[in-house]
Structure 1
């Protein structure tokens, strides 16, 4: 029996290796199609939203335009990049070969089908669109869970968050259909992504910072790995979001968000990002994470009754934390997993500047510091420019083999 299990394992390994060898480079790792597709969809979806906002087009979706914009930014754009990250991280966690070739093409095709189904849901039907869209996250969860369980890896909770994200996606479709409170779904989605950023960012940011500082000859006061303090702050942040979703605005949610913001700021300070200005690839991770305590603090201010629109706080977490961290992780992972030097090109640095400028403009636009419509349009242009630059700089890399000859 043991020999039979070993034989099946060897056959599976051989099959995966053969798929990778036969696959075009674009399908030799989950980060390749999903980073490219997510970035392209970010540009397309935001362009459609700005045109709809201006009254230039009418979107053929069963969602109202604002709900479609929220859905596609969270479950389309963010969902694609999270999928690409997960499919790339799982082989590192488990030591198994990545999903590649036809299975990866099928999974990516399901994500593309979900985007088209939601966009044209008024024609094909909301139920059909929801089934295709949610189906992507369910299949992604099943694929990742199989890999993690078979290797007895400790990262099953991360896979669980993806499963919850798929359930929230289904709830968002229910909100669009008027079956449940629409606010609950997108709030849950924001909460899950920020918790994921807190978990994964808390691992990679201090690790990459420590490695870079060590290369500069520093040996003392280096950032450490996550400690009980970090887990406590992540738990408090999750509890604050739970109160935000289930309780009315007031002193309770405001206090929880304020304490969570202070804790997240303390975590970030412990990672010593101010020492990394010479390396944009590391610095941008700290800049992206800085939006987390900023967003939480703004949510606290809103709940305490400050004259700040809720959209300001929400966009600090979405256009700020999510988009910046996504761009930071995509650029670094693409370079590292294609065997290239970890160095930010001028195009990469320009993309970092644009995504930061776009977030700043989007967060401040509702505050009346400049014309609202102009602020939204300029913020959107800067934000799209960042991901267009990513496509220009990294599209060719994502479609070419590793430069070191490895699969």
Structure 2
């Protein structure tokens, strides 16, 4: 008898968390657009929350969507790194339930004690981090152990927001948002800087090409990673935007230089590759723009949306879809609908950027960018639903 989709959905980290990330990105944006279009006063569709609608919007896209994507990746990759057995279905059901409880707690925060909301929402990443630590301690390697530091930095941004909501600190909520976005960007600088040139090199070798392969100089990689992490630490420790601006700009320039060395033009016929390059490039551009904005040149909100949509959303979409295809035994070829989704990501980022840079187009571009975002994750969710819920077809890709 064939197994039902639900048990298979809970059989691997990439299945349940990448599935939930796509659905949440879709429905939370639909809710946000409905709020913007239909509200008759402050609150409206968000009368159930204790925080402002803006704070909910920022928090959930950073720590709701972002945490699901990070958890799915790490819970899928860590067993491969350590040659360990994957977790049980019960574990995946429990941690995904914990993630969902956090989303419900935020949305219903007006009816719950503030400390309960904080406790529930802050529980996921420590739970995931503990399992990753237990796996990595079996075969500890510094390049992988640093990921635990990045999880802690992302979680710290979330903690800063909750501390202000609890009334224990002042003016840490907005800083926590920035820490969260920039910590996710630093994670992309690390992971994207590993997988993008490696996957491109492997693809080129499979076509028989042996020269002109991507190069990834270690000093350049180290400098970009250190600069990205330094940006987060400067904000986290309260040094201020001006102290974070210089490492952010340096990281942005280095990331763009690294991308140019990975033969991005060669990948144009392969959507599943060029989306990695484009998202990494957008991460660099977003870091540079944020650093400039912190020094008074340009819009910080525009920079953060380039970073969060073009960089973070683009790279997570690329990695989630590639990992899902590879680990389910399917060819590493993006279905047509998924390739269209890849192409819509930079359009979405540009429209949201334009809303800030040209105020006369604000309302139209906010609406259009939101609709594009919904289209991206609808295409992603529909095209990969059989992957998340269906059986594994063959041995996972070696990549």
Query: TM-score w.r.t. structure 2 length?
Result: 0.91
Q: How far does residue 259 in structure 1 lie from its aligned partner after superposition?
A: 2.7
Q: Determine the C-alpha separation between the residues in 2 that align with 1:283 and 1:45.
A: 27
Secondary structure of the residue aligned to 2:49 is: coil
**What is the aligned partner in structure 2 of residue 96 from structure 1?**
84
Q: How far does residue 130 in structure 1 lie from its aligned partner after superposition?
A: 1.0
Q: 2:203 aligns with which of 207, 212, 223?
A: 212
Does 2:155 match 1:166? yes
Secondary structure of the residue aligned to 1:58 is: helix
Q: Determine the C-alpha separation between the residues in 2 that align with 1:100 and 1:225.
A: 37
Distance 1:149 1:301, change over 3 A: same
Q: How far does residue 188 in structure 1 lie from its aligned partner after superposition?
A: 1.2
Q: 2:182 aligns with which of 191, 204, 227?
A: 191
Does 2:7 match 1:24? yes
**What is the aligned partner in structure 2 of residue 396 from structure 1?**
386
Q: Determine the C-alpha separation between the residues in 1 that align with 2:324 and 2:241.
A: 41
**What is the aligned partner in structure 2 of residue 9 from structure 1?**
none
**What is the aligned partner in structure 1 of residue 62 from structure 2?**
74
Distance 1:369 1:172, change over 3 A: closer
Q: How far does residue 172 in structure 1 lie from its aligned partner after superposition?
A: 1.4
Does 2:33 match 1:43? no
Distance 1:23 1:94, change over 3 A: farther
338-347 vs 214-223, which deviates more?
214-223
Q: How far does residue 395 in structure 1 lie from its aligned partner after superposition?
A: 1.2
Q: How far does residue 176 in structure 1 lie from its aligned partner after superposition?
A: 3.1
Q: How far does residue 255 in structure 1 lie from its aligned partner after superposition?
A: 4.0
Q: Determine the C-alpha separation between the residues in 2 that align with 1:234 and 1:217.
A: 32
Q: How far does residue 386 in structure 1 lie from its aligned partner after superposition?
A: 0.5
Q: Number of matched residues? A: 385
Partners of 2:223 and 2:251 within 8 A in 1: no
Q: 2:116 aligns with which of 105, 128, 145?
A: 128
Partners of 2:115 and 2:166 within 8 A in 1: no
203-212 vs 234-243, which deviates more?
234-243
Distance 1:226 1:76, change over 3 A: farther
Unaligned runs of 5+ in 2: none
Q: How far does residue 183 in structure 1 lie from its aligned partner after superposition?
A: 2.0
Q: How far does residue 171 in structure 1 lie from its aligned partner after superposition?
A: 1.8
Q: How far does residue 157 in structure 1 lie from its aligned partner after superposition?
A: 1.9
Q: 1:52 aligns with which of 35, 38, 43?
A: 35
Q: 1:64 aligns with which of 52, 61, 64?
A: 52
Partners of 1:134 and 1:167 within 8 A in 2: no
Q: How far does residue 202 in structure 1 lie from its aligned partner after superposition?
A: 0.9
Partners of 1:31 and 1:84 within 8 A in 2: yes
Q: How far does residue 151 in structure 1 lie from its aligned partner after superposition?
A: 3.5
Q: How far does residue 164 in structure 1 lie from its aligned partner after superposition?
A: 3.2
**What is the aligned partner in structure 1 of residue 292 from structure 2?**
301
Partners of 1:202 and 1:226 within 8 A in 2: no
Specify the structure having the higher radius of gyration (Cα).
Answer: 1
Q: Determine the C-alpha separation between the residues in 1 that align with 2:252 and 2:130.
A: 34
Q: How far does residue 333 in structure 1 lie from its aligned partner after superposition?
A: 0.7
Distance 1:355 1:23, change over 3 A: closer
Unaligned runs of 5+ in 1: 1-19
**What is the aligned partner in structure 2 of residue 116 from structure 1?**
104
Secondary structure of the residue aligned to 1:150 is: coil
Secondary structure of the residue aligned to 1:219 is: coil
Q: Determine the C-alpha separation between the residues in 2 that align with 1:135 and 1:237.
A: 26
Q: Determine the C-alpha separation between the residues in 2 that align with 1:141 and 1:240.
A: 22
Q: 1:376 aligns with which of 356, 366, 379?
A: 366
Q: How far does residue 162 in structure 1 lie from its aligned partner after superposition?
A: 1.4
Q: Determine the C-alpha separation between the residues in 2 that align with 1:405 and 1:278.
A: 25
